[in-house]
Amino acid sequence: MTRPSTQALLDDDISLEQTLTSELRADPDQDMSDLYNPIRSTGYIVVLTLIVGALQLAWSTEFSEATPFLLSLGVSKHALALIWLAGPLSGTFGQPIVGLLSDKCNLDWGRRRPFIIGGCLATVLSLLYLSHSANIVGWFLPNRDKDTVNRYTVPFAAAGIYILDFSIAVIQASCRALIVDVVPSAQQQIANAWAARMIGAFNIVGFWIGTWDLAALFPWLGSSQFKVLSWLVATIMLVLTAAAHATTSLSAWNAKKQEKRLKDMGIDEENATVLTVVKSFFWQVLRSIARLPRQVKIVCYAEFFAWIGYFPMLFYTSTYVGELYLYENGYNNPLNLPADERQRLLDEGVRRGTTALLAHAVVTLAVDLLLPYLVDKFRDNEWINMRRLWIYSHVVFIVATLSTFFITTSVQAIVLFAFLGIPWGCAVWIPFALISEEISRIKDIKAVQIYDQYKKQSVPSSAESENTLVTPETSFYLSKVMVAKYDHVVYDSGILLAIHNVFVSAPQMLSSLGSSFLFKLLQNSDKDSFDDSLGWIFRVGGIIGIGALVLSIQVKTNAELYKEDKAEALTMPE
């Protein structure tokens, strides 16, 4: 067996100091790199990430159908914005708690598996409940008119949104953790790349199905687009999740056995309660914000401004396009639709909105396939790198959202949201890559500093000759100035990604609350005139996106950061 490389050991979850010390003192014949799992085949990884794809079908259904459905019940737009707090709340609190609960799960059939199966069943049931909520309430209110039934349905439908979003959070946290559990560290980038492809591909599948006239194609599944789509998505989710677990069940059991082995080694903390761990986790996140590396801090701040604008783009696209479609057909307000044509026109409007989401998803997938290739091919071109592309994406977002001043037809809106796939494709890739790149850069610096210190302490006479990590290009990182600079920064990937999640979720809450206020202020109460309040939500998001643009310009390349550190080390006195 070969000895693991320094870089391979640096990728583990234990601290860097422990890692380097373990490497230096380890038995040369001991290989720790595959402690958890063997190398996985591509087919195995593809089937494993089907769970992520199945999850995306539920998201695509909610994005395309839920907002028009709630509005059809008579929910005002400002109340609707408050209902959509469910998404960021489930992301901020649901996912970390589920992750911690599954970490401490002791069932023999795996740590993640019970949560994924339970989350899948809860998602399916809550999706069906939401789409059929008016019918369910109607069973308890016989002989009542439709408006009365809709009014009583509103609180139950709103509860359904929260149940659905928290159910999705259960799967999302667990399936991401399962990928970490059963795929070796050397293949984590490949597995996450396949997960990203599944997200893009199943987004397209979900939105494509949503463009069909489903009530006409499958009348036995329901009388509306939402009802039929929920049955189809529920069936596909169950089949895909079952297929993934049929393939990975043995690995999940093996992961459980290996976890017990680690507990026997004293690594797992059994005495801590879930509540204690959750409180400790969030407290650690808050304390670590002050110790963020400058590059990560800028990325997080830029994300804060960007996501205030992204939130309406995700949740209000189908409604905006659908209302423009009705406006084209002579209906300034959905409330004016004739009773005998109401459901047909609403479904057609939703299909138009779903077409916009489909175009958005296709462009997003194309961006995520093309741009990483271009960045790698033109790596020496200063105008084609992740930093530049992120800046360009914010410009496209700002221009596109402000162009809603001139959008008057549903076709124009579909083209607009196709263009918005460009910044969204960058948003789901570049910030994560920038943070990961900075974590790797800091780990390399810390490796040089810690390795040099250990070698000097252990073999002082030959430290200089054997210290292969220290080169003329990196020797300045051993200065007191650089050691002090990087001694206090947080570079643990789990904490940094958790902090990034806070800067993604918190602005969604602000955006939802702000949208509620703007809807209350700008929504047109005249049933005979067109309500452009959604257009103003997009425009305000674009204006706030200027903050993300300004901050993204401050993000530096690795070469720039290297020059900055070197200049600081040479100019500052020891």
Question: What is the pLDDT at residue 573?
Answer: 62
List pLDDT tens digits, range 400-411: 999 999 999 999
pLDDT band at 185 (very low <50, low <70, confident <90, very high): low
CATH classification at residue 227: 1.20.1250.20
DSSP conformational letter for 4: P
Residue 145 lies in a domain: yes
Q: What separation in angstroms does the CA of 151 have from each of 71, 84, 144, 263, 332?
A: 11, 18, 11, 53, 23
Confidence of residue 336 (pLDDT cuts 50, 70, 90): confident
E runs forming strands in 95-158: none
126 within a domain of the structure (yes/no): yes
- Say how far apart CA 506 and CA 88 lie, in whole Å: 7
For range 504-532, the mean pLDDT:
85
DSSP conformation class of 337: S
**What domain range is 190 assigned to?**
36-259
Percent over 70 (pLDDT), the chain: 81
The Cα 371–Cα 260 span in angstroms is 42
- Which single residue is written with the structure tokens 């979850």? 13
Residue 420 lies in a domain: no
pLDDT above 70: residue 269: no
Q: How far apart are CA 246 and CA 172, in angstroms?
A: 19
562 domain residue, yes or no: no
Number of domains in the chain: 1
CA distances from 547 to 299, 419, 512, 551 (A): 12, 20, 18, 6
In the predicted model, is pLDDT for residue 72 greater than 70? Answer: yes
Q: What is the pLDDT of residue 274?
A: 59
pLDDT given at position 32: 37
Determine, yes or no, domain membership for 143: yes
Return the higher-pLDDT residue of 262 and 447: 447
Quote the CA–CA distance of 558 and 502 in Å, as a whole number.
25
Sorting pLDDT into bands at 50, 70 and 90, what band is 468? low
Report the pLDDT averaged over residues 319-327. Answer: 91
- Find the Cα–Cα–Cα–Cα dihedral 166, 170, 172, 178, rounded to 10°: 170
Per-residue pLDDT, 419: 95
Q: How many CA atoms lie within 13 A of 135 on its CB side?
A: 10
Question: For residue 390, is it within any domain?
Answer: no
Over residues 478-487, the mean pLDDT reads: 83
- State residue 237's pLDDT score: 92
In a domain? residue 239:
yes
Show the tokens assigned to 272: 């801590």
pTM for the structure as a whole: 0.76
Q: Is the pLDDT of residue 247 over 70?
A: no
Residue 393 belongs to a domain: no
- Centroid of chain to Cα 383: 27
Q: Is the pLDDT of residue 133 over 50?
A: yes
Q: What is the pLDDT of residue 9?
A: 33
Q: What are phi and psi of 471, to 5 degrees?
A: -120, 170
Separation of alpha carbons 418 and 423, rounded Å: 10
Would you say residue 538 has pLDDT above 90?
yes
Percentage, residues of the chain above pLDDT 90 = 32
Residue 371 confidence (pLDDT): 86
Range with the poorest average pLDDT among 103-117, 220-234, 261-275: 261-275
User: Which residue do the tokens 């591509």 mark?
Assistant: 42
